[in-house]
Amino acid sequence: MEFSAQQIAGILNGKIEGNPDVKITKLSRIEEGVPGSISFLANPAYTQYIYNTNASLVIVNNDFAPTAPVSATLIRVESAAAAFAKLLEMYNQVKLNKVGVSKLAYISEKATVGSNIYAGEFAVVSDGAKIGNNVKMYSHVFIGENAVIGDNTTLFAGVKIYSDTIIGKDCIIHSGTVIGSDGFRFEPSPEGTKKVPQIGNVVIEDDVEIGANCAIDRATIGSTILRKGVKFDNLVHIAHNVEIGENSFLTACNVVAGSTKIGKNCMFSGQVGIVGHLDIADNTIVTAQSGISKSIKKPGGVYMGSPAFDANVYRKAFVHFRNLDAIVERINKLEKQSKATEEK
């Protein structure tokens, strides 16, 4: 892809200073700029780099006032950061705009497939599956029987969608993620441990993004549900019959045990663990490496620790945790002094 400075300025409604015909073929950071690349300057801490960058084109704020010569062509805009983000989005759309079905893909004659789809090498769509319009299935994607994939959803390489899973529109699922595998349920008996059949499914609503190598288990009965706008980082595990509320964010290595219900707009940092059969109120924030062992009823709270409790209380208590050795030494010393006084 090649664009001129004039074309890019038109897209961004910017004003050019320099050569309007300079050609751009790639994006770069300003400190790593190379000829033919476009970068941006938004953070004043990086101003030094604009005077020696090799980038051919740099987007700057309207109020940027150089104190030395700048060799790169400039495009002045109201917000350089917002303008560059717009370019990143456009670049990504063009880069991922794949269509067509590979000769090495398999789509069952009993499947229903929309228009303008992409199916890469060794992608498989099973009997009874329903694939919407503009769906992208990269190589080695597997769609199980009777699964539903909504319009404009992208499944990157190696995603596995088990049977009966329902995925909404405008979703993004990254490589290695497995959706609809069996929930972890076993019952001990005199004859040995027996697996409890998992006959439910997974329902994922619109505008959900799931990172790489996540695992979302099907329900025992009913559905495991991710509501609209949910966002997962990599390596998140969701157990059977869990429900995640709208627009909640779970970062890497979160684990949610079976039948727990998480409210709307929650934010969980890395390595949070939540035991089963709990209710977590809307707008709850949980800090990294915390363990939630009981339900949270009050919306909008912040929790930390394992077991987790109110973050403000935890921070105050932590002052004493850090000084525990010194406190014990003082107590031992006082006990010895008290014993000596009693003996006298």
Whole-angstrom Cα distance, residue 58 to residue 239?
47
Q: Which helix (H) or strand (E) holds 41?
A: strand 37-41
3-class secondary-structure state, position 150 = coil
Residue 301's φ and ψ, nearest 5 degrees, are: -85, 160
The DSSP call for residue 290 is -
CB 4 within 8 A of CB 24: yes
Closest CA to 226 of 249, 203, 210: 203
- In the numeric block, the tokens 């008996």 are attached to 189
- Sequence-distant (≥ 6) Cβ neighbours of residue 294 within 8 angstroms: 278, 307
Contact 129, 144 (CB under 8 A): yes
Of residues 140, 174, 240, 320, which has the active-site annotation?
Answer: 240
For residues 257 and 276, is the Cβ–Cβ distance under 8 A? yes
Tokens representing residue 10 in the block: 């038109």
- Both tokens assigned to 96: 């991922």
Other beta carbons within 10 angstroms of residue 194's beta carbon come to 11
CA atoms within a 13 Å half-sphere pointing along the CA-CB vector of 327: 6
Known catalytic residue at 320: no
Would you say 177 and 214 are in contact if contact means Cβ atoms under 8 Å apart? yes
DSSP one-letter code for 111: S
Cα–Cα distances (Å) from 315 to 53, 158, 222, 267, 309, in that order, read 45, 43, 40, 19, 10
CA angle at residue 233 from 136 to 230, to 5 degrees? 75
Q: What 8-state DSSP symbol labels residue 197?
A: P
User: What single letter denotes the amino acid at residue 32?
Assistant: E
Catalytic positions, please? 240
